[in-house]
């Protein structure tokens, strides 16, 4: 306990000694921070008419919590807010500690959620209107420089009503903000980050979703597209894990799901076909190979290389059977 108190004092002392950052960057923005009650996972989703908003606004750590720092952004609120919550502070205690040392707190907008779902938020009185925040069970939505004051209430309503998984619901809050008018300046960048509720000790495994759109005319449309691709490739990764264990049945299931989620990407059905072939389902695999080869002939050139890695049978007759479905080049 003494260590936690001492650590908290040290963090606040360090922050107090840092020069104030008045307007770097100007992330006038709308965002949501939340803890998923079903899984305990933490997430931040954000959109702004500012380049690379995902670099400065969202801060999340498995087993600790989430922070969004915006308006005339002082990035320090992110890493130091997480450090304070990691030391045992609640979201409210962490936020108040940081605000107490910030001489320009009136232009800041910050929200935090801690490991058990406590929420704290601050909208400084000098944030550019329309600006405000609204909190609910395990989440906070906040916005500044908005077209209308109805933006953040619409975000809260959409998050609470949304179906789907946690990432879907976070993105639904952003999409509701945009429908309500969003940032008065327009739109440019967005980000979506989700981490586990409890740390595995392996940060690369704890980060479940990490997507950014740095510069786009319709960043939320692009973010939604990337989320779909993320899910497709997650299925493919699980298929790879199953294939490495030669669990061909599980591999086929994952590759098939991945292909269904992103049928436009030729590589996904290619690996589905490879796995079906290895699982002894050659008649099912061949039509998929044919379709892939017709789209991009490079996949046919890859086929002879796979037996050496154990990904296709080391049987010349079987490899020839696969290659026979490729379009024949005119002589």
**Domain residue spans of the chain:** 2-217, 232-323
At residue 289, does pLDDT exceed 60? yes
Question: Can you read off the two tokens belonging to residue 329?
Answer: 């080049």
User: β-pairing, 58-61 with 207-213?
Assistant: unpaired
pLDDT beyond 50 at 34: yes
- Does this model's pTM top 0.85? yes
Which whole number is the average pLDDT over 87-102? Answer: 98
Output the six-digit token pair for 248.
Answer: 């061909």
Nearest to 193 by CA among 25, 36, 71, 46: 46
3-class DSSP state of 123:
strand
Confidence at residue 193, expressed as pLDDT on a 0 to 100 scale:
98
What is the model's pLDDT at position 27? 64
CB atoms within 10 A of CB 40: 17
CA pair distance 222, 224, nearest whole angstrom:
5
Nearest CA among 216, 197, 219, 215 for reference residue 207: 197
* Interatomic CA distance for residues 258 and 230, integer angstroms: 10
User: Does the domain made of 232-323 have the CATH classification 3.40.50.10420?
Assistant: no
Strand order across the 189-195 sheet? 132-136, 139-143, 29-35, 42-48, 189-195, 207-213
Would the CATH topology of 2-217 be identical to that of 232-323? no
C-beta separation of 134 from 151 below 8 A = no
Model pLDDT, residue 12:
42
pLDDT in tens, 38-67: 999 999 999 999 999 999 999 999 999 999
- The architecture in CATH of the region 2-217 reads 4-Layer Sandwich (3.60)
């Amino acid at each position: 306990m003494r260590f936690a108190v001492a650590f908290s004092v040290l963090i606040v002392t360090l922050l107090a000694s840092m020069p104030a950052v008045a307007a770097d960057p100007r992330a006038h923005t709308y965002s949501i921070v939340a803890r998923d009650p079903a899984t305990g996972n933490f997430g931040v989703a954000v959109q702004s008419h500012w380049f690379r908003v995902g670099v400065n606004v969202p801060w999340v750590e498995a087993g600790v919590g989430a922070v969004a720092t915006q308006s005339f952004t002082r990035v320090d609120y992110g890493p130091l807010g997480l450090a304070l919550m990691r030391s045992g502070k609640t979201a409210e205690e962490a936020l108040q500690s940081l605000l107490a040392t910030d001489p320009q707190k009136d232009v800041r907008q910050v929200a935090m959620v801690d490991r058990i779902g406590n929420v704290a938020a601050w909208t400084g009185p000098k944030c550019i209107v329309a600006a405000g925040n609204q909190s609910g069970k395990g989440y906070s939505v906040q916005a500044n420089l908005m077209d209308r004051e109805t933006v953040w209430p619409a975000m809260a309503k959409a998050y609470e009503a949304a179906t789907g998984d946690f990432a879907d619901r976070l993105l639904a809050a952003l999409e509701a903000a945009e429908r309500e008018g969003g940032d008065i300046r327009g739109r440019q960048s967005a980000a979506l980050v989700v981490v586990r509720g409890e740390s595995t000790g392996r940060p690369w495994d704890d980060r479940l979703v990490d997507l950014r759109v740095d510069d786009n005319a319709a960043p939320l449309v692009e973010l939604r597209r990337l989320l779909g691709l993320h899910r497709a490739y997650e299925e493919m990764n699980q298929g790879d894990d199953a294939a490495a264990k030669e669990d061909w049945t599980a591999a086929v299931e994952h590759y098939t799901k991945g292909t269904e989620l992103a049928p436009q990407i030729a590589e996904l059905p290619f690996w589905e076909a490879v796995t079906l072939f290895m699982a002894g389902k050659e008649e099912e695999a061949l039509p998929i190979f044919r379709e892939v080869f017709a789209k991009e002939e490079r996949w046919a050139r890859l086929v002879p290389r796979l037996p050496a890695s154990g990904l296709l049978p080391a049987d010349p007759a079987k490899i020839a059977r696969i290659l026979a479905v490729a379009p024949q080049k005119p002589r």
